[in-house]
Each structure stands twice: as structure tokens, then as C-alpha cells.
Structure 1
């Protein structure tokens, strides 16, 4: 096989309808100066076949919307993606997505188009966002030829930035759930984890406003400054 034929084979093949849907996806704007309350946020969680950023695949997407300062229960997203002939790893013990559930899932192209239409031009929140951002970005590129440019903010960084008194910087989602004494009754599937992350994010937005961080762009700036300080102190 020649190099050029390999490149052609790597290009996703979409139906005309899928191409039209892809072309209509809005461009992701930069974070603006509206209030944190006014901003529509999409809170995302992914379940994957494993933690290898280059080899593992997205199995399911769960998301919920924060708008007008509250979780909007009318705007929720959940899809399981079909993954034929892909060996499941130990992560199935956590998220519970077995072969039958994955076989009955949605076509990845349609599921990812559905999700990006759900997102629109909103920024995304996730706990340990770099992982979700990379895995989602790779899935979109592989399945749609689409380059993800939406802004992601990491709730795992927001929490220690806004609540330094907790002294739990290297913490997981469960640690922060326990610290804030949130009543979370379900965990370890994409939709439930997105909901738990959204509840945590609402508390953190309130803490941000109390610290005169009033807009998404201000929050992003403060997060960038905080991360640079953390990196500097780690050397």
C-alpha cells in the first residue's frame, strides 16, 4: 500500500446527511466576559476502554447543562458508542459497559454529531479535563475529520484554586464530593459522573463570585495563573 492510499483510507467516510450536519456545527468562540451565571456550560464525562490516550476509545458520553446558575435537567445527553471487535479492558469493571451494551450502542459518527450539536458553541467543563478533551478530540478527528476547538475548564483545578483551605490539591472527584458533603447516589458511569461534576461546579462558581471572579474569561485567566505557579513550585 502506498503512502497516499494509506492517507486516503484514514479519511472518514460520511454520508451526505452527515456531511451536512458536520458543516452546520458552530465555531467555538473564545470565552467571553458575560457573567458565570449567564454562560451556558456543558459538563462532560466520558467512559473509555482504558486510559491510553493514543490507543483507547470512547465508549460512552454523558453530559448535562448548567445555565442560569443551575443544572438544567431538560438538557441532558447520554450515548453509548458501538465499538466492534475492540477488546474491553479492566475499566469495564468500573463503568459496567459490557459487550452487549456496546453492541447495541449508536454509530460513533451519529453519536458524536449528536453530541457536538448538543454542545453548540458552549465551553465544556470536566473533572481532569485534559483526558476528556484529548479522548473526545481524537474520537472526533477519527470519526468525523473534525478538529475540536472548544474551550475546556478543568474542575479538578478549579476546586483547589478556589478552596485552598481544603489542602487536597491532588484529589479525585470523590474526595471533593466528600469534602463538600454532597449527596451523590450514583457514580462511575458517564451520566452520573457528569451530574456529580456539575453539582461540584455550581459550588465552585459560587466560590469564584465571592472572590470577584465574575466571568468565564476571568476564571480561565486565574486558572492559567494558578497552574503556572503550581508548575513553578514543583521544580
Structure 2
């Protein structure tokens, strides 16, 4: 035994079938010069016990796929994660996930592995993506001992980049769906929010093409440039 092995936290004790599936996960593909329409995108939304990046936990996951320029309703993902000894806070009640729904949820390791297989090597879109990426990464590390490597793009940044005329700063999903007059029939539910984000993303992709942004790589580059401008001091 390595002298310092006791300093490293032990990983989860996964059954062999899960370990075998985990080993078969494809590495994420870097964004390239294919068209925005050709790219398969996974649009993700999480519901969590709160907004604390270090303490709160993932309650439910919803995801849809954009492919061939449209939402593919044949590719949808939804799971509620089983969470024992959960204290119900205000955010849990907003999501409508009561104790019975959470107790009847999926085993977290199984659900998270299902999600990683669903994502595959595709890039992920989310509204306020850094939060979702951090929370999902923590859950994946805790329950699978695996490092989340998927490429994430933040729809909350894409929207003001591509639609500066809206003059919406630090706006939420409701603000942007309202500005585009999208009909959203349900909110604070992972699957419904993922679908709303996907519909918003499709409009943004159309705006991107109008601005001569035709590939995922070009979109990522323009987004990085925009972020640097936002962080630069005003003169």
C-alpha cells in the first residue's frame, strides 16, 4: 500500500456492470467546423436542493436533444435521484418534488451513468451552465468516481452575445423566453426547463447564422471573445 493512499478519499464501490459501462463512455469531442445544424446538442437542466455549490445536491435531471436543426422528441432524458435523509427546503417545494417522489427516485449512480451515456460525446447547452456543470460534476464524482469532461456552452451568455438589442443584462430564462414570446407552459421542472432552453437555443442558432457564425467552434470562439470584452474595464 502506498504510504499516502489513506490521504485520498476512497471512490464509490461500484458493481462490475456499472464499472464496465463507465469504461465504455466516449471522450467528449472538441467543437469543430461542422455546421450548427449538423451538430448534436444535449440541452440540460438540473433541479437542486439549493444554490450552494458545495453543499446542495442534484434532485432531478431533464435533457432533450437538438439535432438536424430541431428538438428531437425521440431523444429525451428525465430522472429523479433518490436522496435519503433529505431535509425539504423551499427550493424542493418549488420543484414540486415531495418526499415520496424523491424516495421513489432512481439510484443516483445508475441515473448519472444513464445521463453520461445519453450525452455521449456531444456538447451540452444549459442556462447558467457553470452552475449545472459544477453541480453535475460533483454528483458524478461522488456517485461514480468519474470526472465530468463534457463541453458546456452557456445559453445565458449566448443570448446577450447574439441579441444585444434586447438590452437584457443578467437576465433569467423567463426574461429571454418572454422577450422572444415563447410559450412556456411549465417552469421549475427539469424537463420543461430543458425544453424551454432548447427552444431558446434554436432561435439563437438562427441569429448566429445571420451573423455569419456557422459552426460550433466559431460560436465558442465568439463567445470567448464576448466574455473577455465583458470583463475588460470600461474607459
Q: Under TM normalisation by the shorter chain, which class is it?
A: over 0.9
Secondary structure at the counterpart of residue 132 of structure 2: helix
State the partner residue of 1:221.
221
State the partner residue of 2:129.
129
State the partner residue of 1:7.
8
Deviation at 1:124, TM superposition (A): 0.1
State the partner residue of 1:75.
75
Listed one character per residue, the Cα deviations across residues 186-217 of structure 1 (whole Å, up to 9, x for unaligned) are: 11100000000000000000000000000000
Query: What TM-score does the superposition give when structure 2 sets the normalisation length?
Result: 0.96
State the partner residue of 1:17.
17
Deviation at 1:123, TM superposition (A): 0.2
State the partner residue of 1:175.
175
Moved segments of 4+, more than 3 Å: 2-8
Instruction: Say yes or no: does 1:98 pair with 2:63.
Output: no
State the partner residue of 1:46.
46
Secondary structure at the counterpart of residue 121 of structure 1: coil
Listed one character per residue, the Cα deviations across residues 69-93 of structure 1 (whole Å, up to 9, x for unaligned) are: 0000000000000011122221012
Q: How does 1:22-33 map to 2 (within 5 A)?
A: 22-33=22-33
State the partner residue of 2:208.
208
State the partner residue of 1:195.
195
State the partner residue of 1:149.
149
Listed one character per residue, the Cα deviations across residues 42-99 of structure 1 (whole Å, up to 9, x for unaligned) are: 0000000111101111010000000000000000000000011122221012211111
Separation of aligned partners in 1, 2:135 and 2:187: 20
Deviation at 1:4, TM superposition (A): 4.7
How many equivalent pairs are there?
Answer: 233
Q: Which 5+ residue runs of structure 2 have no aligned equivalent?
A: none
Query: What TM-score does the superposition give when structure 1 sets the normalisation length?
Result: 0.96
Listed one character per residue, the Cα deviations across residues 128-152 of structure 1 (whole Å, up to 9, x for unaligned) are: 0000000001111111111111110
State the partner residue of 1:36.
36
State the partner residue of 1:230.
230
RMSD over aligned CA atoms reads 1.5
Q: Which 5+ residue runs of structure 1 have no aligned equivalent?
A: none
Listed one character per residue, the Cα deviations across residues 168-200 of structure 1 (whole Å, up to 9, x for unaligned) are: 021000000110000111111000000000000
Separation of aligned partners in 2, 1:183 and 1:6: 52
Separation of aligned partners in 2, 1:86 and 1:95: 14
State the partner residue of 1:186.
186
State the partner residue of 1:166.
166
